[in-house]
Chain A
Amino acid sequence: MATYHLKINGKIRPVNVDPSTPMLWVLRDHLDLPGTKYGCGIAQCGACKVHVDGVAVPSCQLPVSAVGKQAITTIEGLSARGDHPVQKAWIEHDVAQCGYCQAGQIMTAAALLKQNPKPTDEDIDAAMSGNICRCGTYLLIKEAIKSAAKETAGSSTRK
């Protein structure tokens, strides 16, 4: 067991866990942040993706001991009021069916748009193909990402 002071959603959160514990379970079991989902535990489905210094990574493969000072953002911290352009676009397109994978999809999409504000269809496929949705909402996810990209571009033009 070891104590870590993790920077999560803008706050320092102390945890005392085994160093090998994946961030997925630190978030879910120790920090009461269950928005990050368990799907496979082997980085194949993307349900557990969080931002580590702005990059979307599967938290099931990230041991707490490797986090250090890097800032972690989870779905709960993506925006203060659920109004990140990607979250808004997800509502606008009514993307979710069961909804279980969508936190991972949203985190991946948000990281993509940060890095590439005007992604092509191929860019979206490349960024999103690590995220599985058994309900098959891929088409709406793509539409929502394009809407979010437009909104982001629009608001930056206005500024």
Chain B
Amino acid sequence: MTTDKTTHNRRSFLKASLLAGGGMMLSVSWLSSAKAADKLKALNVPEQWSQLNGYIQITATNLVKLICPNPEFGQNVMTSLPMMVAEELDVDWKGVVVEMGPHDNTKLGPQFTGGSNSVRMYWKPLREAGAAARQMLREAAAQSWGVPVDEVTTKAGVLRHASGKSAKYGEMASKAATLPVPKGTKLKAPKDFSIVRKSKKNVEGPKIVTGKPLFGLDYRAPGMLIAMIQHPPAFGMKLKSFDASQTLKMPGIKDVFSLKLYEDGFEQGGFDTRTFNDLLVVVGKTTWEVMNARKKLKVEWEPAGDTKDTMTGRGGKREVTVPGELESTSAQLEKMQEWSKKPAQQLRKDGDPETAFKNAAQVIERTYNAPFLAHNCMEPMNFFAHVTDEKALLVGPLQAPGWTEPTLVKRLGLPADKIEIQMTRMGGGFGRRAYGHYLIEAALISKRAKAPIKLIYTREDDMTYGIYRPMYTATYRAALDANKNLIGFHVKGGGIPEHAIHANRFPAGAVENYLAEGWEIPSNITIGAFRAPRSNFNAAAEQSFLDEVAEAMGKDPIEFRLELLKRAKEAPVGKNNEYDADRYAGVLTLVRDKSGWNKPGNEKYHRGVAAYFCHNSYAAHVVDMVTRDGQPYVERVFSAMDCGIVVNPDAATNMVQGAVVDGIGNAFYGSLTHKAGAAQQSNFHNYRLIRHNEAPKKIEVHFVENDLDPTGLGEPPFPPVFGAVANALYKTTGKRQYDQPFKSVLDKRI
């Protein structure tokens, strides 16, 4: 892969098309261009890239570079997004070089990795970019050859005309770059795809397996110092005073200081969420020196009391009171119980649920609870910053540079065009890196230290100083008539500090009398998006509950759901139902058929099923549990997905398998608890993640085949895993699971 300095500097990137030129007459064969790129780099030959648009650059020597707009955190966008460009550009994938783009929302779109949106959001623009560039190359050839453009064809990066004329893209690239960008170029029909839908290997695979410095934590710059933050020992505390004299005597230590992340009255946008505002910072030469010196700080902390944050964004500008209480999990659970009995905000109502429940022959009521979860990205939070009076360079792992840049502008007092954010590969994200406070912290530290610095969170900092999945509860009620028909459904959900209820999701639309309510308890514990936010709780609670309702009705859990979906399709109740009942039913029938649900041959297994729709895709899993060494063990999983067109099938399968493994792990173990505001788990010795020996032996992934525009896979397969595991555990142990995580089951021999 080539590294072209010009693409890492936004201003020259914008000018790059003016540099279109060529004259590089090195003999480079198309197919070996990736190797050729390395060769050129080794020879130190400056490449001149013709930029056809923000996503496509071609040299006269016929190297094709595709720019990935979105930061990569393992969802494989550096491969799947360029595949879409290549499909329409009509180039040989083997010769393509992929590079992570600079932060440039004007040229490269929203550049936001999250919400399972990358593929969905870029599906059209990237294919249009490829098609437009191909059209420009054809036009350039037509002009050069004096033939009508319609007669110029392309195949795998070569332009041809019936007269026998032909040229590689590279030969026409500089001319093409000067042509106007066509609009409305026709895109391929799915049946004509030759790259999309064909598995392509991760373009960064060779670098990953050889340990190349791809990640933020690997980034180094001359004169770079290391910085760490000493944060308060508990949520609800703040810095009172500190004595750094011992720390400053330690080898390698340059400075210790405190500063405020946001000044008083700072207007926080939705993604400015931060844990602590007082930063006590140690700066030194090396990581180990700073780690050790930080331990020598003598710090006095004090209760912060109630504080006020000024919020902007959704909901308008408003003052929010953050309670100062030092919270404990046991008290939080009690508080949630108490609040669950209070009147709540009505989120949706269909029919007359009150009467339905009054007239019911049987009411089933169950309450589900789930704890805070820490993201535990394998690469802890970190960012490089070099801030001077004139400009700022920031390099590191970040999901949404466009959301953080305005905050940098405000906090650094520099205009946006003086701030450059480079996005490295991320060692996981799962939503955590959508909150760029650690980047602002790094920038302020660099400015104060007057040096290039890298801010590093230790694992303990990362876990105890997080932006967690909220703590949730929900009470579900089902009303059955004397004939065991479902005549009413009620969900009342709450959370600290937000509830998880998606009022317009299934089974809304499928039940005549329906009520959804929500309530929220404010907290100083910081929360944010965590792989399929809210859905990751709902799919556990609701899918466990539906299993129990089906059982009470004497119905097969899959057939029960299919009946509800049939109703939702044929005579939908209410408005704004978010899901497509056909596609929802489609994944259920697919997983039923592929797993041989209720078919002989599976007697060895305790089977649990769950399905869910979120982030525009549909997922269903059948979890096959056995008892191994006296413990429940998920030995086999069948998954069915509907995400429309599957852009990169093998990688998509990998994503689904990973989500299943991650889901099983979080269902059994995921839990972050607090005592007097302090996180009770700090590292992987007391926060369990799933390990090799606990992963299923087989996860069979099936995709519904259709030609619908593709949607994402990072989140949708994750939530229903919790429900399927809970339902399989019931079959295994005879006990329903109401409280996440389910690890209590593992403590007892079955």
Contacts and interface: CB of A to CB of B under 8 A. Distances in A.
Interface in B645-677: 650-651, 654-655, 657-662, 665
B74 A98 contact: yes
Contacts of A134: 376-378, 428, 430, 662, 689
B692 A41 contact: no
A149 interface: no
Interface in B264-313: 286-289, 292
B205 A94 contact: yes
Nearest to A108: B692
A137 B658 contact: yes
A97 interface: yes
A1 B699 CA distance: 51
A149 B743 CA distance: 35
A16 to B, nearest CB: 11
Contact of A97 (B213, B218, B655): B655
A38 B655 contact: no
Nearest to B75: A97
A35 B650 contact: no
B466 to A, nearest CB: 14
B16 interface: no
A25 B286 contact: yes
A126 B691 CA distance: 10
Contacts of B693: 125-126, 128-129
- Classify the secondary structure of B's interface with A: loop
Nearest to A34: B218
A51 to B, nearest CB: 13
A37 B690 CA distance: 19
Given A47-B378, A74-B211, A98-B428, A141 B287 contact: no
Contacts of B215: 34, 37, 100
Given A99-B208, A99-B425, A136-B658, A131 B692 contact: yes
Nearest to B661: A136
Interface string B27-54: 0000000000000000000000000000
B57 interface: no
A34 B693 CA distance: 28
A47 to B, nearest CB: 6
Contacts of B204: 96, 99
Contacts of A98: 72-74, 377-379, 425-429
B447 interface: no
A114 B291 CA distance: 35
B602 to A, nearest CB: 20
Contacts of B684: 39-40, 42, 44-45, 132
A141 B427 contact: no
Contacts of A138: 661, 690-692, 695
Interface in B200-232: 201-202, 204-206, 208-215, 217-218, 220, 226
Interface string A114-140: 000000010011101111111111111
Contacts of B427: 37, 98-101
Nearest to B463: A40
B425 A106 contact: no
Interface in A50-74: 74
Interface string B371-389: 0000011111000000000
A135 B288 contact: no
Contacts of A44: 683-685
A55 B317 CA distance: 58
B217 A34 contact: yes
Contact of B74 (A29, A96, A124, A130): A96
Contact of B287 (A25, A39, A139): A25
Interface string A14-36: 00011011100100111011111
B459 A40 contact: yes
Contacts of B376: 134
A94 B650 contact: yes
A94 B654 contact: yes
A84 to B, nearest CB: 9
A60 B696 CA distance: 29
B458 interface: yes
Interface in B426-440: 426-430
Contacts of B410: none
A97 B380 CA distance: 16
A153 interface: no
A136 B217 contact: no
B251 A1 contact: yes
Contact of B212 (A35, A36, A37, A100): A35
Nearest to A107: B211
A102 B665 CA distance: 19
A41 B697 CA distance: 30
A151 interface: no
Interface string B683-727: 111000111110111110000000000000000000000000000
Contacts of A135: 74, 378, 428, 658, 662
Interface residues of A, number: 62
Contacts of A30: 286
Q: Which of B75, B286, B660 has the most CB of A within 10 A?
A: B286
B76 interface: yes
B662 A18 contact: no
A85 B202 CA distance: 18
B58 to A, nearest CB: 27
A135 B695 CA distance: 12
Given A29-B287, A91-B201, A121-B697, A36 B211 contact: yes
Contact of B205 (A33, A96, A131): A96
A7 interface: no
Nearest to A1: B251
A136 B653 CA distance: 12
A37 B217 contact: yes
Contacts of A35: 210-213
Q: Which of A17, A94, A129 has the most CB of B within 10 A?
A: A94
B86 to A, nearest CB: 18
A43 B72 CA distance: 27
Interface string B476-515: 0000000000000000000000000000000000000000
Contacts of B430: 134
A20 B289 CA distance: 10
Interface string B384-426: 0000000000000000000000000000000000000000011
Nearest to B214: A99
A6 interface: no
A34 B213 contact: yes
A134 B425 CA distance: 15
Q: Which of A39, A47, A74, A78 has the most CB of B within 10 A?
A: A39
Given A39-B378, A97-B76, A134-B378, A75 B210 contact: yes
Contacts of B691: 129-132, 138
Contacts of B289: 18
A18 B288 contact: yes
A136 B288 contact: no
Contacts of A106: 209
Contacts of B428: 98, 100, 134-135
B68 to A, nearest CB: 15
Nearest to B219: A34
Interface of A: 1, 17-18, 20-22, 25, 28-30, 32-42, 44-45, 47, 74-76, 78, 82, 87, 90-91, 94-103, 106, 121, 124-126, 128-142
4 cross-chain pairs, A with B, having the tightest CB-CB distances, nearest first: A35-B211, A100-B427, A136-B661, A98-B74
15 contacts: A34-B218, A36-B211, A39-B380, A44-B683, A75-B210, A75-B211, A82-B209, A90-B209, A94-B201, A96-B205, A102-B208, A129-B693, A134-B430, A136-B659, A137-B661
Given A96-B202, A136-B657, 5 more contacts: A34-B218, A37-B427, A97-B74, A100-B428, A136-B660
Interface of B: 72-76, 199, 201-202, 204-206, 208-215, 217-218, 220, 226, 251, 286-289, 292, 376-380, 425-430, 458-459, 650-651, 654-655, 657-662, 665, 683-685, 689-693, 695-699
